[in-house]
Amino acid sequence: MILKEIEKLITEGARACGYDDNFSVTFSDKPLLSDFQCNSCFALAKKYGKKPLDIANEIVCHIKKSDEFEIVAISPAFINITLTKEGLKKVADFMLKDQRGGLEKNEVSQKVLLDYGGANVAKSLHIGHLRTAIIGESLKRLYRLLGDEVISDVHLGDWGLQMGLTELQLFEEGKLDFYFGKSDEKRELTIDDLNEAYPHASKRKDAEEDFKKKADEWTLLIQSKKQPYYDIYKVIRAISVNEISKNYRKLGAEFELWEGESDASEYCDEAVKIIKDKGLARESEGALVVDVAKEGENIPTEKNGEKFFLNPMPPCLIQKSNGGDLYATTDIATILKRNKNYKLDRIEYVTDARQKMHFTQVFRVCKMSGISPQNQQLVHVINGTMNGKDGKPFKTRSGETVKLEDVIELLLNKAKEKLTANGNVADDETALKIGVGAMKFGDLINTVSKDYVFDIDRFLSFEGKTGPYLQYTCVRINSILSRFDEERGGEIKIYNEEMRQVILAMLKLNSSYFICYNEKSLNSLCASVYNLASAFSAFYNNHSVVNEKDLAKQNSYISLLRLIKKKMEQALYVLAIDIPKKM
Ligand code: ARG
């Protein structure tokens, strides 16, 4: 990477004057003055008791002369570095020839399991699952691009009370008569049956104590794999998974593993046994719990006569009094299972903040019990919520949670409107790419942990920091390039300032992947790819590629465009934003 290369030059220069220190180089925060900067001389001056500027000057004088960089010391003690035309040309040619466009990989490759779907069987996918899918998919693509080996798991919520509730509701509606021998005619269950049953049952659960108790029993019967309860459950699961996968496909989220909580059920007993054998479990009101609190947590506090805990960290419930599996148990058992099947350096989860406590507890139990080896990283990537314009979590007009399907439909229709208004044919495929692309960029440009406002009109604008603007940039470049034969192109000579800015934007883009990797957030990549698209736009507005008469110049332009195309496509691939053929 270019920053490393410059750091090496400076370090060698410094060594020649007797300073055996580390230097760090960044992109310049004053791009009018230089392309890169090094601020390390301040610390050196302190260490050696010299004047900062003297040290900077001394080092600069000892840096090996190169026709690729211009290096100067400026007051108070910066070393400023600028790429010469020769340097830029070398960088551009390298990026053009390199399959990855000069993007390196991490020095160490890790084996990672990424758990980021979380859709629930028998329930519709809702808006809360949207960010998780978008962020998880992009993190997966990013990790892979930088050399990690990643397995993605949708980890369906398929082992909880919602199954008992749904089955009981369907039973009472007479839709399960065949399974219970009450009718000879098999009535095939449909997705509409499920979509109706769960919300209904969920309301009844809160209003009818008896219904809730019965649903608990049904859940236990399913979890104990009793017939016909378990067979019906499998039918419900299959219908639901079919529907869920359609939605994930529309979002471009792909999972290798379509497993769920239920797949860990056979490991629950073993997990509980390990925890018990380690002496970590205790009984509490008939249930089994593990105390996971550390010092400084659960401090009894009283304020205005009200008693509560400061830093609450309740014990983790690992077995219900009726012996049923709990959410935490399935996650602990899933880690046990994963560690039996793979040798994982990292297990990472993407969900919203509501699960923070859950994962803290699960991770602690796994570490305390050795279910997760000490050198394995367990990471919870917490995403903020998507809010409506009122700043509150996005809801339907009647105040209900928005279904993911409805959001996709909305994006599709809005994109169609936009395309038609611009005089284009609005086919479903293109509209979906634009609508979903707009949504993804509108999401990923925010720091993962922050909430943001869903503003569909702004997201769908063809100008500014938006998905469609980036897609449009690619479409435009493709259309220009389609006018030239494959043989055209060649070395990239730097003819103007705009070309220079494009190449610098690509260097920044390359380094943003590593920032994203460390931050587990895609916002830096979004900003950098937008920056590249704007640099291209400035270039394109000032120089005509098609009408350029000077052939050598035109060849340079063509190659530059090919390189931009490669870099834009690479970035949009990571953001999982598809590029339409036309728009
Ligand atoms: N099914 C859960 C929900 O919808 C999310 C699952 C998150 N992943 C996990 N391994 N627990 O809230």
What's the pLDDT score for residue 321?
A: 86
119 CA from centroid of ligand 1 (Å) = 7
Q: Which of 334, 351, 357, 366 to mutate to test the pocket of ligand 1 (most atoms within 8 A of CB)?
A: 351
For residues 428 and 461, the answer to whether their CB atoms sit within 8 Å is no
What's the pLDDT score for residue 99?
A: 96
| Alpha-carbon span 41 to 23, nearest angstrom | 8
Cite the residue boundaries of each domain of the chain with CATH code 3.40.50.620.
260-383
- Residue whose CA is at the smallest distance from ligand 1 atom 3: 118
- Residue whose CA is at the smallest distance from ligand 1 atom 7: 118
Q: Which CATH architecture has domain 2-83?
A: 2-Layer Sandwich (3.30)
CATH homologous superfamily of 404-574 equals: Isoleucyl-tRNA Synthetase; Domain 1 (1.10.730.10)
487 CA from centroid of ligand 1 (Å) = 52
Q: Which position has the token pair 């000892």?
A: 62
Which residues, in sequence order, are bridge partners of residue 308?
301
Please give, one letter per residue, the 3-state secondary structure of 488-538: CCCCCCCCCHHHHHHHHHHHHHHHHHHHHHHHCCCHHHHHHHHHHHHHHHH
Q: Which of 152, 155, 202, 240 to mutate to test the pocket of ligand 1 (most atoms within 8 A of CB)?
A: 155
Q: Which position has the token pair 């699961």?
A: 237
489 CA from centroid of ligand 1 (Å) = 50
- Residue whose CA is at the smallest distance from ligand 1 atom 12: 118
Assign 17 to helix, strand or coil: coil
| Alpha-carbon span 110 to 113, nearest angstrom | 10
Which residues, in sequence order, are bridge partners of residue 453?
387
- Ligand 1 atom closest to residue 358's alpha carbon, by position in its atom list: 11
| HSE, side-chain direction, 13 A CA sphere, residue 447 | 5
Question: What residues does ligand 1 touch, defined as CB less than 6 Å away?
Answer: 115, 118, 120, 155, 157, 331, 349, 351
| Alpha-carbon span 331 to 329, nearest angstrom | 5
Single-letter amino acid code for the residue at 415:
A
- Ligand 1 atom closest to residue 351's alpha carbon, by position in its atom list: 7
239 CA from centroid of ligand 1 (Å) = 19
152 CA from centroid of ligand 1 (Å) = 14
| Alpha-carbon span 284 to 562, nearest angstrom | 66
214 CA from centroid of ligand 1 (Å) = 24
330 CA from centroid of ligand 1 (Å) = 11
Other C-beta atoms lying within 10 Å of the C-beta of residue 453: 14
| Alpha-carbon span 120 to 389, nearest angstrom | 27
Cite the residue boundaries of each domain of the chain with CATH code 3.30.1360.70.
2-83
Assign 412 to helix, strand or coil: helix
576 CA from centroid of ligand 1 (Å) = 22
118 CA from centroid of ligand 1 (Å) = 4
- Ligand 1 atom closest to residue 120's alpha carbon, by position in its atom list: 1
- Residue whose CA is at the smallest distance from ligand 1 atom 6: 118
Other C-beta atoms lying within 10 Å of the C-beta of residue 420: 12
Which residues, in sequence order, are bridge partners of residue 213?
none
Helix (H) or strand (E) holding 152: strand 149-153
- Residue whose CA is at the smallest distance from ligand 1 atom 5: 118
| Alpha-carbon span 474 to 581, nearest angstrom | 9
Assign 472 to helix, strand or coil: helix
Assign 579 to helix, strand or coil: coil
Cite the residue boundaries of each domain of the chain with CATH code 1.10.730.10.
404-574
What's the pLDDT score for residue 125?
A: 86
Q: Which of 244, 350, 355 to mutate to test the pocket of ligand 1 (most atoms within 8 A of CB)?
A: 355
- Ligand 1 atom closest to residue 156's alpha carbon, by position in its atom list: 1
- Residue whose CA is at the smallest distance from ligand 1 atom 2: 118
CATH topology for the 260-383 domain: Rossmann fold (3.40.50)
| HSE, side-chain direction, 13 A CA sphere, residue 574 | 31
Q: Which position has the token pair 């014990």?
A: 315
- Residue whose CA is at the smallest distance from ligand 1 atom 11: 331
Which residues, in sequence order, are bridge partners of residue 403?
126
Q: Which of 83, 38, 127, 153 is nearest to 386 (CA)?
A: 127
| Alpha-carbon span 393 to 399, nearest angstrom | 10
Burial tier of 499 (Cβ tally within 10 Å: 0-12, 13-18, 19+): buried
Angstrom CA distances, 468 to 98, 200, 219, stand at 28, 39, 46
290 CA from centroid of ligand 1 (Å) = 21
The length of the chain, given as a count of residues = 583
116 CA from centroid of ligand 1 (Å) = 8
157 CA from centroid of ligand 1 (Å) = 6
* Angle ∠(124,128,131) on CA atoms, nearest 5: 120
For residues 433 and 471, the answer to whether their CB atoms sit within 8 Å is yes
The token duo for 544 is 């005509």
Q: Which residues of the chain have pLDDT under 50?
A: none
The token duo for 545 is 């590629």
- Ligand 1 atom closest to residue 359's alpha carbon, by position in its atom list: 11
The token duo for 105 is 């990989």
Q: Which of 96, 250, 50 is nearest to 567 (CA)?
A: 96
For residues 251 and 408, the answer to whether their CB atoms sit within 8 Å is yes
What's the pLDDT score for residue 392?
A: 86
- Residue whose CA is at the smallest distance from ligand 1 atom 8: 118
120 CA from centroid of ligand 1 (Å) = 8
Instruction: List, in order, residues 6 or more apart from 157 with CB less than 8 Å away.
Output: 118, 119, 120, 121, 123, 260, 261
578-582 contacts at long range (C-beta below 8 A, 24 or more positions apart) = 578/252, 578/433, 578/436, 578/437, 578/471, 579/433, 579/471, 579/474, 579/475, 579/478, 580/429, 580/430, 580/433, 580/434, 580/471, 580/475, 581/430, 581/475, 582/424, 582/425, 582/430, 582/475
